[in-house]
Amino acid sequence: WLVALKNIFSKQLPNMPKEYIVRLVLDPRHHSMIVLKNSAVIGGITYRPFWRQAMGEIAFCAVSANEQVKGYGTRLMNHLKEYVCDKEAMTHLITFADNNAVGYFQKQGFTKDVMMEREKWVGYIKEYDGGTIMECHLSAQVSYTEFPAMIRKQRAAVDAKVRELSNAHVVYPGLVHFSAPAGPGGVRKPIPAEHIPGLQEAGWEPPGLPRYRLLHPNCGDGTPSYDNLNKFMRALVNLTTNHADVWPFLEAVSAEEVPDYYDVVKDPISMEVINARVDSGEYYATLEMFAADHRLMFNNCRLYNAPDTVFFKCATRLEGFFEAKVAQGISWKQARDRGVLGDR
């Protein structure tokens, strides 16, 4: 078995001289733990215990190439920790890991920050050029071979407690609404939020009306209801499309005239699209959504065009005009006076 283990080390650790591997594996001062599969050695660890320091130095650790990525390395290391902690009263494992092994040892609980006193290991363990010293502190209170089962039990306990406190584990059927063809302009009729399965069970409550009032004429009583908001947005679109600086934004940018535009602008939009969404009467549920599309349009323009271009300047002037008209059309003060905000 030791000869078979030596052969695995020689094959999996090509940078180590074979004579050196033979000397350590067969050295009585070194111990080896092997992995057997169908009575054949497929991997193992060779280590040297230092009894006075309660420390073990891992010299070699490898699993044969055709048995890797199957969890044998982790199980091997867990059994080694359990054995040296329980049978040999060790409190630390230490090793010099090459660049290819650092990741493996980190996953097994080793760290590059060696907390053990230097006098316990300097001059005792073997040092290698290009290696990284790594340490693992062992605890007698932990059963390393039962550790995966313990984690599974803890995860199951946490999951059961979460199921008691919430409905997050309940899976509802998808919305068939989105499998149907979209309407004109790609707009779909909105679904009332209270009709979405599971939303009310999750604690959702209707948000209520926005915290402002509409001042623009033809907006009814000024309450920011869905219909009144749509009238306000229609008025804003009319004002914007009649502005002298709107001409670059009326239609989508032609890919034939500006071939690289859509390589730069990933979310294009134009007044033509905004107008269609307002006409649908169903796309913009809030004034914030409507204003966000305008700001996206202006930002797209400034993203693609240099500051000294006429397009960039049009975007800045038109944005200022649009923001001013939005501010003029709503009032927070009247909302407070009429109690729209409610108690605070």
Active-site residues, by number, are 57
Q: What is the spatial distance between Cα 275 and Cα 268, in angstroms, rounded to a whole number?
A: 14
| Contact of 311 with 246, CB cutoff 8 Å | no
Q: Which residues contact 27 (CB under 8 A, 6 or more apart)?
A: 48
CB atoms within 10 A of CB 40: 11
Type and span of the H or E element at 102: helix 102-107
Cα-based angle 245, 249, 251 (whole degrees, multiple of 5): 140
Helix (H, G, I), strand (E, B) or coil at 323: helix
CB atoms within 10 A of CB 73: 20
CB atoms within 10 A of CB 180: 9
